[in-house]
Chains A and B, each alone.
Chain A
């Protein structure tokens, strides 16, 4: 060890070069430490021929078709949670957005903002999860960037990812294509990601662990494309704002009404219990590995069968239908047979007093 003592005595070069267990400002300098950061902590998890050239930009051969592009920035706290971490989330979030346009995602770029003092052990876990998630999603990371900011200027680490994918002729799901008579499908149990995060953040212990649903959705979309094809009218991943907000946006974009059946919506028991305890409505809680699909009633069974062929889609269910009445509005038929509006929320859900 020469750095600390050397600095104190003023005899040694100020550039620290001993192995570090935490990110330092020098790792963002653009010098040797930056190169070591990329070489030691990022490349091993992302290696592929395009990235390995380490040029200023990646060159890609995508063929002649249309492409889909999406970008997202991840600022989740805590950085690690049951079912994933910010790294896997940064892959899933962006590949899912590309997939919801109907595209097959192929490549990702990633930008990292690291806070001075971030333990490398944590960074390595995040990057390893990111690499594994990318491989599972069938995408390669082809360009990246790192910046280091002073302690206190970031919450550990922020990640931005941009994804690119190729579209398929005739397969163009879009939020404005829901039609009267269509059926609303959900690919699995809802509200798991948001409640997993909240349980960790608030230090809440529930009898059963709640695990985030964070997962790559392209396999589900591929199944739908193969089995149902162009009749898949809408695909959405109900992330922030949950199922309720996503369906409100679709109802508005398509100028149709949507009617949900409360008893058809799959909600895991532990999630329902946690929501009850906190006074939260699972319809507004975030998902990160669940999709909503809207298809004609005549294709609903095919679509459900297609979703159920994938492990993350085995609990897929039909939860509602598209109607002509009350355009722009989502209604829910309650278990008692009453009806209520499922509206957009003005802000975050706040836990209720009693």
Chain B
């Protein structure tokens, strides 16, 4: 397929892997921030190709994984209301809340629909003026512009029965939190290309300078990731700590100004809880007062929601790179994709699910050899 096959070419990929092995004089520890990159790395077996040269730690960049339990429970409560059509991206439907997931609410009669864009949810609201349409606005800076646009359009078109349940998070505060942790092992980052396509990379320059870590803005195809890793390793080997851009076909330093502007007009920064990690100051987005009418949490009285995470789930350590999924005692036993204890086992982008689905063989290999 044009514009995809070129970035999945086997010989070029193997040449990039060889370049990384040649460059690395020791084993470096890098974190790919975004769950989409984790997916590619594990699915294509890239971490195995780089064994010995680079250890990849899977970062907190899976929106499904870091959406806090109380927001999931609010979604479940909203979806169960008879007047509500609850709309969401597909992979939020299986994320376990305190006692069930959105698929279970749908089976009990809740009107839960998968949409591919928040603008589709807005269109549903226009066609069903007698119902309240709520969109589950999760994600990083990547999904924020479309969600901002949906709210903006709702106000412009005077569609009163549309609202969003906001659980937006932003990448740079999470990177700072990881680097500030005394247990941190991360020596360099692959920044998420799609996030930077919106935001640019100016926010990352002070992080690279203050913590002396290389940050490479990286795409999502196998060759993107291998090239991004090569650039980060070459920086580490030469003692540099700069922000570099591997994803030149999509990202500029300034990002996409109209999208950024729209996000800034609709949303403002706020403290946000991250599932498994805790509250990170000013790490989330919330609707500005001018758009408060479109905030589902204000529109509906959801009462008090108290939550408690399963004690065996160590998602927080996984999401900050301190624990490999398969080193978690619950991994593959108490916690599987059929019965996930925590969100990283749910989404195909989640580090635990990626390991479970694609990495099981490698975990079994030494036993087979012996």
Contact = CB atoms under 8 A, between A and B. Distances in A.
A352 B90 CA distance: 6
Contact of A353 (B4, B13, B139): B139
Q: From B45, B194, B336, B362, name the one whose CB has the most chain A CB atoms within 10 angstroms.
A: B45
Interface in A154-178: none
Contacts of B9: 335
Contact of A352 (B348, B358, B368): B348
Contact of B358 (A279, A325, A336, A341): A341
B63 interface: yes
B44 A340 contact: yes
Contacts of A340: 42-45, 358-359, 361
* Chain A interface helix/strand/loop/mixed: loop
A334 B194 contact: no
Contacts of A354: 36, 63, 89, 139-140, 142-143, 194
B94 interface: yes
Interface stretch (A133-141, A185-193, A314-322, A342-350): A342-350
A251 interface: no
A205 to B, nearest CB: 12
B273 to A, nearest CB: 19
Contacts of B336: 346
A269 B138 CA distance: 31
A340 B364 CA distance: 12
What is the size category of the interface that chain B forms with chain A? 35 or more
A273 B9 CA distance: 17
A273 B2 CA distance: 9
Nearest to B103: A347
Interface string A112-154: 0000000000000000000000000000000000000000000
Contact of B90 (A334, A341, A351): A351
A336 B47 CA distance: 11
A351 B140 CA distance: 17
Nearest to B353: A346
A353 B44 contact: no
Given A263-B10, A340-B359, A350 B4 contact: no
B347 A337 contact: no
Given A353-B64, A354-B36, A346 B14 contact: no
Question: Which residue, A336, A339, A350, A352, has most C-beta atoms of chain B within 10 A?
Answer: A336
B360 A336 contact: no
Given A351-B91, A352-B91, A329 B1 contact: no
A326 B364 contact: yes
A45 to B, nearest CB: 36
Contacts of B347: 352-353
Nearest to B8: A335
A131 B173 CA distance: 63
B293 to A, nearest CB: 25
Listed residue (A263, A326, A329, A334) with the most chain B CB atoms within 10 angstroms of its CB = A334
- Dominant SS at the B interface? helix
B222 interface: yes
B350 to A, nearest CB: 11
Given A329-B360, A354-B142, A339 B45 contact: yes
B54 interface: no
A56 interface: no
A109 B46 CA distance: 51
Interface string A263-284: 1000001001100101100000
B90 A350 contact: yes
Contacts of A353: 63-64, 89-92, 138-139, 143, 347, 349
Given A278-B116, A351-B91, A353-B91, A336 B46 contact: yes
B361 A336 contact: no
A32 B36 CA distance: 61
Contacts of B174: none
Contacts of A347: 94, 103, 338
A202 B337 CA distance: 26
A353 to B, nearest CB: 4
Contacts of A352: 89-91, 347-349
Contact of B1 (A273, A343, A351): A273
A340 B49 CA distance: 12
Nearest to A329: B361
B359 A341 contact: yes
Contacts of B334: none
A268 to B, nearest CB: 10
Contacts of A350: 90-91, 93-94, 114
Interface in B319-366: 336-338, 347-349, 356-362, 364
A338 B10 CA distance: 10
Interface of B: 1, 4, 8-10, 13-14, 17, 36, 42-46, 48-49, 63-64, 89-94, 103, 114, 116, 138-140, 142-143, 194, 222, 226, 336-338, 347-349, 356-362, 364, 368
In the complex, the 9 A-B pairs of residues with the closest C-beta atoms, listed nearest first: A338-B45, A350-B90, A351-B90, A340-B358, A336-B13, A353-B89, A346-B338, A346-B337, A335-B10
Given A334-B43, A336-B17, 20 more contacts: A204-B116, A263-B10, A273-B1, A279-B91, A279-B348, A329-B361, A331-B361, A335-B13, A336-B8, A337-B49, A339-B48, A340-B358, A341-B359, A341-B361, A343-B357, A346-B338, A350-B93, A351-B114, A352-B349, A353-B143
19 contacts: A325-B368, A329-B360, A331-B361, A335-B13, A336-B13, A337-B10, A338-B49, A339-B361, A341-B357, A343-B356, A346-B338, A350-B90, A350-B94, A350-B114, A351-B114, A352-B91, A353-B64, A353-B92, A353-B347
Interface of A: 202, 204, 263, 269, 272-273, 276, 278-279, 325-326, 329, 331, 334-341, 343, 345-347, 350-354
